[in-house]
Amino acid sequence: MVKEDDLKDAFAEWLTTTSLTPEMGTVAVRPTRHGERASGWSASALAGHLGAVLSAGGWSIDLENPQVEIGLVVNCRSGLIAWGVSHFSEPPRVGWKQRSPTQRPFFKPVSLDPRHARLMLNLVRSQGVILDPMCGTGGIGVEASLMGISSLSLDLDKEMVAGAKENFSWALDNGATVEAGLQVGDATELPNILDATILEEINGVCVDPPYGRNAWRSEEAGNLFIRVCASTRKVVGEGSYLVCMLPCEARDDEKIYGQSWSEICAAMEEVGWKVNDKWLIPVHASMVRVMVLARTA
């Protein structure tokens, strides 16, 4: 469990690095818990500690209508705590809903939620080109170009690539600042099909492999995923990150593609990716997926 004084010190230090001042008005800390509960980990109690630091610093707390809102996210299992200023909390909420995949010219049920795409891109932390080797409708490329990140997307299915192209044009008409690259291709053959000039620039990979009804227990889907891992590893530089959204059994993130989590980690490491962490991601009422972060081994 986190020590109250350590948390307060870290938060007070962070405040000094921001332009936030009590003169900006009232403030509230909004806690959110990710994942399962754990004893000793109360997000609202932790938010209270941050509130105490703000009060001591001269801020007025207003939980109803604050001028400044600080979001606090707590993941009990991993022990991670993060905070930052919320920019999108004021109604009417604009952004995610207006950019739902159903608003794009080409939509399929597999289209990735833009929030998940953005999370993947943030985790990859690339300064260069991000590769999405199984792009479907282009959810990751759309979000990348809106974030000003260069990307290259591929899919084996020509219909998907044609649709992703329409979505990338739509993104450019809706605030994207960077054009997304796109080509038809097999994600397991990347070293043979990518242009040599792009190879030096790719330093991050986001993979959203097929997750059909039974993909979580399918050996075939598991083999494809590992082959894609092997292929991506050959086209990225040292120190690059790989983020994937994998299917899992119900809420059991210890079972992926019918294998144990340790077997998946071992298979990924064998082809050059060392797993850092994983998180359960609720997609809708009956589906949960696992986001996996890995770095070149």
Ligand X SMILES: C[S@@+](CC[C@H](N)C(=O)[O-])C[C@H]1O[C@@H](n2cnc3c(N)ncnc32)[C@H](O)[C@@H]1O
Residues that bind ligand X (CB under 6 A): 110-112, 133-137, 139-140, 154-157, 160, 186-188, 208-211
Name the residue type at position 119: L
Name which of 183 and 296 has its Cβ closer to ligand X: 183
Please identify, using beta-carbon distances, which residue of 167 and 240 lies nearer to ligand X.
Answer: 167
**What's the closest the beta carbon of residue 209 comes to ligand X, in angstroms?**
6
- DSSP designation for 126: -
Smallest separation, CB 139 to ligand X (Å): 2
From the CB of 295, what's the least distance to ligand X, in Å? 21
With CA atoms as reference, report the closest residue to 59 among 84, 22, 29. 22
Nearest CB to ligand X, comparing residues 31 and 209 = 209
Q: How far apart are CA 167 and CA 160, in angstroms?
A: 10
> For 280, left (φ over 0), alpha (ψ -120 to 50), or beta?
beta
The radius of gyration of the chain from alpha carbons, rounded to an integer in Å, stands at 21
Q: Of 52 and 280, which CB lies nearer to ligand X in the complex structure? A: 280
Q: Tell me the closest approach of the beta carbon of residue 223 to ligand X, in angstroms.
A: 11
Q: Which is nearer to ligand X, 28 or 291 (CB)?
A: 291
Peptide bond before 92: cis, by omega within 30 degrees of 0? yes
Smallest distance from the beta carbon of 233 to ligand X, in angstroms? 15
CB atoms within 10 A of CB 123: 19
Output the smallest distance, CB 185 to ligand X, in A: 6
> Whole-angstrom Cα distance, residue 166 to residue 142?
10
Minimum CB–partner distance for residue 221 and ligand X (Å): 9
Q: What's the CA gap between 85 and 88, in Å, rounded?
A: 9
Q: What sections of the chain are H helices per DSSP?
A: 4-17, 43-56, 114-124, 139-146, 158-173, 190-193, 196-199, 219-233, 261-270
70 versus 206: smaller Cβ distance to ligand X: 206
Residue 12's nearest CA partner among 56, 53, 61 is: 53
- Which residue lies nearer to ligand X by CB, 46 or 245? 245
